[in-house]
A and B are shown apart, each in its own frame.
Chain A
C-alpha cells in the first residue's frame, strides 16, 4: 500500500514537472542606452510587461539592458520591443536571443 502511494506521488510530481520543462522560453536581451534612474526606467519595464506574449520583463540599470522573457512557444517581436523602448524615451541597441528552461 505504501509503495502504491509513493508511486502516485512520484507520478503527480512528474506530471507537473515535465510540461513546465517541455517548452523552453525565448529570451530577448537588448542593450538600452540613456537609462538613468530607477523611477525613469520603470516605464519601459511596465510597457514591455504588458506586451502580448511576454511572461516577464525587467531592466538592468547596471548592465543597461532590457530582458524580455516570452511565454513558452511565443517568439519575441523585436521591432515592437524596440519601438516600446524608443517610446520610453531611450535608445535600443544590440540584441541577442537565447532560450531558457523553466525553473
Chain B
C-alpha cells in the first residue's frame, strides 16, 4: 500500500512538474507571452538532492493567436535507485481574457484548462483547470498561477500554486534600438499538494540570463514544510 501511495505521489508530482512550462517564472511556464505561430521549447531539469532523482521535463509552447496558447510537456524521471520512466503528458490551453498594456508594462489574466494523460496504463487521466495573472511594471514582474487537477477514475486530485517575482538586474535601461541580453533575479513561493498529503510550500530563488532567442536559467528550491527536501533547477528555453 505504501508503494502504491508512493507511486501515486511520484506520478502526481511528475504530472505537476510537467505543467511547469510559461511568463518568465522559474517553476511555472504558463505566463509566457507568445506570438501567433511562435514556438518555445523548454528543457528543464530538477535534481532532488535528498532522493537522488532527476526530473527532466521537455515542454513546448505554441501560440494559436496573441491571446491563445497551447502548452505541451512530458517529464522523464531518472533515478539510480529505481526505473527510469516517463511521467504524464500534460496538455494545457491558456486563454487571455483580460489584458491592459501600457508603456511601463502589462497586466494580464489568463484562464487555463487541460488534461494530464498518463503514459502508463496503471495511472488515470486528470482534468486541469486554473488561472494565471501577470503584472509587469518597469523592471518588476509578478506572476501568480494556480491549478487544480481533478483526478478521474482512480487518479488522485492535486493542486499547485506559484507566486513569482522577477527583477531585471541589468540592463537598467535598454538600448534605444537593438536588443540587449538581460539578467533577472527570481524569487518564488510555490505550493504543491497531492490528495492524501499536505500542501508542501516551497521557496525558490534563481537567476535567468535572457537573450532574444534563448534563455538560460537556474535556481534552488527548498521545501518549507513536509519532507523538507532541496532541489536544484537548470533549464533553457529557445524561441523559434
Report which A residues bind B (CB closer than 8 A). Answer: 31, 33-34, 36-47, 58-64, 67, 86-91
Contact with A along B191-226 (1 / 0, CB 8 A): 000000000000000000011111100000000000
Distance in angstroms between the alpha carbons of A60 and B83 in the assembled complex: 49
Report which B residues bind A (CB closer than 8 A). Answer: 24, 32-38, 63, 65-67, 96, 99, 101-103, 105-106, 136, 141, 168, 173-182, 184, 210-215, 237, 239
The reply to whether B210 and A37 contact each other, CB–CB distance below 8 Å, is yes
Chain A residue numbers with a CB within 8 Å of B141 are: 36-37
Other-chain contact of A58, B32, B101, B178 (Cβ < 8 Å) = B178
Other-chain contact of B106, A34, A39, A43, A61 (Cβ < 8 Å) = A34
The reply to whether A37 and B182 contact each other, CB–CB distance below 8 Å, is yes
Chain B residue numbers with a CB within 8 Å of A38 are: 174, 179-182, 210-212
The reply to whether B35 and A36 contact each other, CB–CB distance below 8 Å, is no
Other-chain contact of A36, B33, B38, B173 (Cβ < 8 Å) = B33
The reply to whether A89 and B67 contact each other, CB–CB distance below 8 Å, is yes
Query: Given contacts A43-B38, A89-B66, are A58 and B211 in contact (CB under 8 A)?
Result: no
Chain A interface SS verdict (over half):
mixed
* Interchain Cβ contacts under 8 Å between A and B, 29 examples: A33-B103, A34-B102, A36-B105, A36-B106, A37-B168, A37-B182, A37-B184, A37-B210, A38-B182, A38-B210, A38-B212, A39-B24, A39-B210, A39-B239, A42-B213, A42-B239, A45-B179, A45-B212, A46-B35, A58-B177, A61-B174, A62-B175, A62-B176, A87-B63, A89-B63, A89-B67, A90-B66, A90-B106, A91-B101
| Most chain B Cβ neighbours within 10 Å, of A31, A44, A87 | A87
Distance in angstroms between the alpha carbons of A45 and B173 in the assembled complex: 19
Other-chain contact of A39, B136, B175, B178, B237 (Cβ < 8 Å) = B237
Other-chain contact of A90, B101, B176, B210 (Cβ < 8 Å) = B101
Chain B residue numbers with a CB within 8 Å of A67 are: 177
Chain B residue numbers with a CB within 8 Å of A59 are: 179
Query: Given contacts A37-B24, A42-B212, A63-B176, are A89 and B35 in contact (CB under 8 A)?
Result: yes
Distance in angstroms between the alpha carbons of A95 and B60 in the assembled complex: 34
Chain B residue numbers with a CB within 8 Å of A34 are: 99, 101-102, 105-106
Residue of B whose beta carbon sits closest to that of A62:
B174
The reply to whether B174 and A39 contact each other, CB–CB distance below 8 Å, is no
Question: Closest CB of chain B to A74's CB: distance in Å?
Answer: 21
The reply to whether B239 and A43 contact each other, CB–CB distance below 8 Å, is yes
Chain A residue numbers with a CB within 8 Å of B184 are: 37
Chain A residue numbers with a CB within 8 Å of B213 are: 39, 42
The reply to whether B102 and A62 contact each other, CB–CB distance below 8 Å, is no
The reply to whether B32 and A40 contact each other, CB–CB distance below 8 Å, is yes
Other-chain contact of B66, A31, A36, A41, A88 (Cβ < 8 Å) = A88
Query: Given contacts A36-B136, A37-B24, A43-B239, are A87 and B35 in contact (CB under 8 A)?
Result: yes
Chain B residue numbers with a CB within 8 Å of A46 are: 35, 38
Distance in angstroms between the alpha carbons of A67 and B178 in the assembled complex: 11
Question: Closest CB of chain B to A27's CB: distance in Å?
Answer: 12
Chain A residue numbers with a CB within 8 Å of B106 are: 33-34, 36, 90
Distance in angstroms between the alpha carbons of A90 and B65 in the assembled complex: 11
Chain B residue numbers with a CB within 8 Å of A63 are: 176-177
